[in-house]
Amino acid sequence: MLSSGFYHNEDTKMTVPFRHHGTFFGDPVRAIITASQNEVIAEDKLSQLAAETGEYVKTKLGELAKKHPQFVSNVRGKGTYLAFDVETTDLRNSLISHLKAQGVNQGGCGVRTMRLRPTLYFEKKHADIYIDALDKAIEAAKKESGYIFYEEDCSFINPIQEALHKRSIEHRDEFWAEQAENIHWFKKP
Both 123 and 58 in one domain: the answer is yes
Task: Return the pLDDT at 157.
Answer: 47
Both 162 and 137 in one domain: the answer is no
- Using pLDDT thresholds of 50, 70 and 90, give the confidence band for residue 26: low
Both 169 and 139 in one domain: the answer is no
CA distances from 159 to 110, 147, 163 (A): 25, 11, 6
- Answer yes or no: is pLDDT of 14 > 80: no
The model carries a pTM of 0.65
How many domains does one find in the chain? 2
- Answer yes or no: is pLDDT of 15 > 60: yes
Both 116 and 179 in one domain: the answer is no
Q: 136 lies in which domain range? A: 47-145
Task: Return the pLDDT at 20.
Answer: 53
Task: Return the pLDDT at 187.
Answer: 38
Length of the chain: 189
pLDDT digit string, tens, across residues 50-92: 999 999 999 999 999 999 999 999 999 999 999 999 999 999 9
Residue 111 lies in a domain: yes
CA distance 189 to 185: 9
- Answer yes or no: is pLDDT of 115 > 70: yes
CA distances from 40 to 124, 128, 129 (A): 20, 25, 25
Mean pLDDT for all residues in the chain: 78
Both 168 and 133 in one domain: the answer is no
**Which bin fits 73, alpha (ψ -120 to 50), beta or left (φ > 0)?**
beta
